[in-house]
Chain A
Amino acid sequence: MTRRRMIRSGVTAVAAVSGTAAALRPMLTTGQQRANVAPDGAGADGAPQAPLAPGAVPALFDEVYRGRRIQGFPDAGAEGVAIKVDGKPLQVMRRVDGSWISVANHYQPYTTPLATARAAVDVIGRAELSMTTEHHH
């Protein structure tokens, strides 16, 4: 049991949800924005990005997908990757074949962190992630 993942608590703040109707279904958005960061470090708009702070980990990906900013970072934990949706952590787990499942897709694995993040957005729509987990590393 020592390092078993425990997803815990994450009781949602029962604070008033914003007026934005959260969409659990894939939204019928017109034109999915994808703002990949260019290899030279320039942002999607071509503007140079601020240099990384000392110790900061460069993103594996950083894009806007269906109106949500999704980011992936290398991570020293068992999952090997940390994913964020609009700055909030998307908890993921690693499968033995190298694929990932996330709290948003517990019954469907994806082969890349980017696909895992996009698929989570497909499921949660515009809703905010709320579940927190205890890291075991």
Chain B
Amino acid sequence: MFEILMILSLIILTLAILLNIYRVIKGPSSADRVQALDSIGINLIAGIAIFSVYLDTHAFFELILLIGILSFVGTIAFARFIERGVVIERKR
């Protein structure tokens, strides 16, 4: 019963990620795409948490932290690129 509930949660999460991918493909501006990719990263964190409950192991918790940090850094870098055209500004 519990395993079936976990599988059902993973299926619903996959559906959410597919809707996000629709927004990544169709989004009119690039801010839409960055926003949807950030949301995909957050949904991946949730998927890893559900999968570690399903497998009953705690070997994947580093991945949660790691994907969170990587998704945040990538989002900030893309937002700076949209806003100013450069990611790292050069000091004079």
**Is B one of A's binding partners?**
no
Chain A residues proximal to chain B, CB less than 8 Å: none
